[in-house]
Amino acid sequence: MKRTYLFIGAGRMAAAMVKGLKASCDDQVTIYAANSGNKERLEIFCTAYQLFPVVENWTDYITKVDTIVLAMPPSQQQDILQQLAPFVTTQLIISVAAGKGLREMQKYLPDQTAVAWVMPNTAAQIGQSMSLYTTSTISEAQKSALHVLLESIGEAKECSEEQIHTLTAITGSAPAFVYEFAMSLMDAAGNAQLAEEELQELVAQMIYGAAMMLKSSSSPAELREAVTTPGGATAAGLDVLYAKNFQKVIHEAIQATSERARILGN
């Protein structure tokens, strides 16, 4: 079955999703893409993924597609929804705007419009996103179009709107905390006399291996215990983390992220 998408926004997240769609079902998708008027960027984007550029009046394309993906900055969403509203009929409207949500979309669209709010993360670029999503009442065909998109960028979990607001700090922002942790480890290995790239590779593989173990059935506590001999070297390191209240620091970082996201979303 041929699926048709209109992407409004041709930036990093649109590129990740289009790349995923093209890689997973190139011959089954037709994709139109529009942006805010940067013609050079749109041309590069459309050439890279063999898309149809929409240089003017993207509203003319609404009736040509089944699914519209809003991939522009959250601050632009209200304006775009208001432009969309008069033309929407049976299309599924998917937004990836951080901090916004379904209710925020529904405010500006006709009643009964099929909407989905998806919160991917940056690993969508390599097909490894942990995406959260929620939808209004949508048809089986629309569910299928949504799942094709979600699965093309990684794994996805259906949540309530409120859960997405709460969990975005963890799935969306905490990757930055992991990178900060990686930088700290690389810094701490300063006197091992390895080149920066070698250190990065070593740390990345360690995190990757730990993540793979975590994705197995064992709990993090069991995995931690398996590495930690009482009175041993790892235990000495963990004791420092406990003494500095590592968990509390992480809680505070997540709370600060969520609070800021709510302010920005409003």
Ligand X SMILES: NC(=O)c1ccc[n+]([C@@H]2O[C@H](COP(=O)([O-])OP(=O)(O)OC[C@H]3O[C@@H](n4cnc5c(N)ncnc54)[C@H](OP(=O)(O)O)[C@@H]3O)[C@@H](O)[C@H]2O)c1
Q: Which is nearer to ligand X, 113 or 121 (CB)?
A: 121
Site for ligand X in 136-195 (CB under 6 A): 172
- Sequence letter at residue 142: Q
Q: Which residues contact 142 (CB under 8 A, 6 or more apart)?
A: 66, 67, 92, 114, 116, 135
Neighbour tally for 235: CB within 10 Å:
13
The correct pick among 8, 65, 68, 116 for binding ligand X (CB under 6 A) is 8
209 among annotated binding-site residues? no
72 among annotated binding-site residues? yes
Applying CB under 6 A, does 35 fall inside the site for ligand X? yes
Half-sphere exposure of 157 (CA within 13 A, CB side): 12
Minimum Å distance from CB 37 to ligand X?
A: 5
Q: How far is the C-alpha of 5 from the C-alpha of 96, rounded, in Å?
A: 14
φ, ψ dihedrals at 100, nearest 5°: -90, -80
3-state secondary structure of 107: coil
Site for ligand X in 48-77 (CB under 6 A): 71-74, 76
User: Binding string to ligand X for residues 98 to 117, with x set by CB under 6 A, is what?
Assistant: x-------------------
Applying CB under 6 A, does 38 fall inside the site for ligand X? yes
Residues in contact with ligand X by CB under 6 A are: 8-14, 34-38, 41, 71-74, 76, 80, 96-98, 119-122, 172
Please enumerate, by residue number, every residue annotated as part of a binding site for NADP(+): 8-13, 71-74
